């Protein structure tokens, strides 16, 4: 391509490639090649130091028909994903509140946003302390209020662990969603609400018929980011529970980690990764379809 005559168009194309190249290289080496390698690996027997052998669908059969832990992790991932709609609902409520002309609203905005840029490992450690049964703040408060007699070991309990981890995840991401939704809210022209007021729409009508439809692009963005987060929340789970107790908080991502680095079953982990990849792709496509079409592209500027 670079050897073609130096027309203006060719120079432009060369320039575009030059700009694209660094990002494409990173994408290729850290995304495409590992993914392809994973794909190959998932149909093979291999672990470090052992010969490479074709395995066909062996790993997939094991995963789907013999591995209860995989199904538990899958189910847990689905449950953990519920954190996204909950976060969005809370964030929307908060965004509507801090969008009002109240005193100190920028302070509230900052406070609510603050957890998001924190390092997830730090967040995990802080929440582990909060949940701790002997020194944790939550147990202390609950006991002081007389709500419980015995301390609850939230993160070591089969019934509480998943919910507890989800609370931490929601706490961290809610501020980010709030900012996205707040921006969306502020992009809705005030005149639309005034027109609706005169047209006779009451507050709840205005919310359902104007605010929500015009927020759709922002909400969709939150859904996508939330789904990604729930598939990749490795660090939070790992620092808080390590997937335990038992498999109570095991997600696909932590299960993959354990399969590769604890059990050294890289081939099997690769197969799980491929399954997770396709699940994620399906979800993203469905979400895109749902928010897509005309409604997802509402141009508020007009």
Partner 1 sequence: MATVSFRALVKAYGDLEVVHGINLDVEDGEFVVLVGPSGCGKSTSLRMLAGLEDTSGGDILINEKVVNEVAPRDRDVAMVFQDYALYPHMSVFENMAFSLRYRKTPKAEITTRVMEAADILGLEPLLQRRPKQLSGGQRQRVAMGRAIVRKPQVFLFDEPLSNLDAKLRGSMRLEMKKLHRRLGVTTLYVTHDQIEAMTLADRVVVMNNGHIDQVGTPDEVYKSPKTLFVAGFIGSPTMNVLPAIRDADGSVRVGGADGFSIDRSDIPEDAPQNLVFGIRPEEVFVGETILDDKGPVVTAIVDVVEAQGPDTLVFASLGGHDLTIRTRPDVKVKAGDAVQVQLNISRSHLFNKETGRTL
- Residue 151 or 217: the one with the smaller Cβ distance to partner 1 is 217
Closer residue to partner 1 in complex, CB, 100/144:
100
Smaller CB distance to partner 1: residue 201 or 284? 201
Q: How far is the CB of 92 from partner 1 (least distance, A)?
A: 17
CA distance 246 to 170: 23
Burial class (CB in 10 A: 0-12, 13-18, 19+), 282: exposed
Return d(Cα 267, Cα 41) in angstroms, integer: 5
| Minimum CB distance to partner 1, residue 20 (Å) | 32
Give the span between the Cα atoms of 123 and 247, in whole angstroms: 22
Q: Does 209 bind partner 1 (CB under 8 A)?
A: yes
Among 74, 83, 178, 214, binds partner 1 (CB under 8 A): 214
Smaller CB separation from partner 1, 68 or 294: 294
Cβ–Cβ < 8 Å for 271, 60: yes
Among 3, 200, 262, 293, binds partner 1 (CB under 8 A): 200
Q: Identify which range of 24-32, 135-143, 203-211, 284-292 contacts partner 1 by CB under 8 A.
A: 203-211
What is the Cα–Cα distance from 55 to 38, expressed in whole angstroms? 14
Asked whether position 302 contacts partner 1 by CB under 8 A, the answer is yes
Stretch that binds partner 1, among 59-67, 89-97, 191-199, 252-260 (CB under 8 A): 191-199
| 192 is a site residue for partner 1 (CB under 8 A) | yes
- Placement of tokens 């498999």 in the chain: 247
Segment contacting partner 1 by CB under 8 A, of 17-25, 35-43, 192-200, 263-271: 192-200
Q: Is the dihedral of CA 274, 275, 280, 281 positive or negative?
A: positive
- For partner 1, give the closer residue by CB, 51 or 293: 293
Among 64, 137, 195, 290, the residue binding partner 1 under the rule CB under 8 A is 195
How is residue 3 annotated by DSSP? T
Cα–Cα distance measured from residue 144 to residue 142, given in angstroms and rounded to the nearest whole number:
6
Q: What token pair was written down for 150?
A: 């015995």
Residue 132 and residue 124 in contact, taking contact as beta carbons nearer than 8 Å: no
Task: Report the interface residues with partner 1, using CB under 8 A.
Answer: 189, 191-192, 194-202, 205, 209-210, 213-214, 294-295, 298-300, 302
């Amino acid at each position: 391509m670079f050897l073609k005559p130096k027309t203006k168009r060719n120079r432009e194309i060369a320039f575009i490639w030059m700009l694209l190249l660094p990002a494409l290289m990173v994408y290729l080496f850290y995304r495409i090649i590992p993914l392809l390698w994973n794909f190959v690996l998932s149909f093979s027997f291999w672990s470090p130091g052992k010969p490479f052998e074709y395995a066909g669908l062996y790993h997939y059969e094991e995963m789907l028909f013999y591995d209860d832990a995989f199904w538990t992790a899958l189910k847990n991932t689905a449950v953990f994903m519920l954190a996204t709609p909950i976060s969005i609902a809370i964030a929307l409520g908060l965004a509507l509140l801090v969008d009002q002309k109240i005193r100190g609203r920028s302070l509230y905005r900052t406070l609510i946003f603050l957890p998001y840029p924190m390092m997830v490992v730090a967040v995990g450690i802080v929440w582990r302390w909060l949940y701790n049964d002997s020194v944790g703040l939550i147990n202390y408060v609950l006991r002081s209020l007389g709500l419980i007699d015995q301390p609850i070991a939230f993160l070591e309990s089969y019934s509480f662990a998943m919910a507890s981890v989800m609370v931490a995840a929601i706490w961290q991401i809610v501020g980010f969603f709030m900012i996205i939704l707040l921006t969306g809210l502020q992009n809705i022209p005030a005149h639309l609400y005034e027109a609706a007021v005169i047209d006779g729409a009451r507050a709840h009508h205005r919310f359902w018929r104007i605010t929500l439809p015009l927020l759709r692009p922002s909400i969709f963005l939150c859904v996508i980011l939330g789904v990604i987060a729930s598939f990749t929340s490795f660090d939070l789970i790992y620092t808080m529970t390590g997937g335990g107790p038992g498999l109570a908080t095991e997600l696909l991502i932590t299960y993959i980690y354990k399969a590769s680095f604890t059990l050294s079953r890289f081939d099997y982990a690769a197969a799980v990764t491929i399954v997770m990849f396709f699940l994620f792709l399906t979800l993203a496509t469905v979400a895109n379809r749902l928010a897509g079409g005309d409604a997802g592209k509402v141009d508020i500027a007009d």
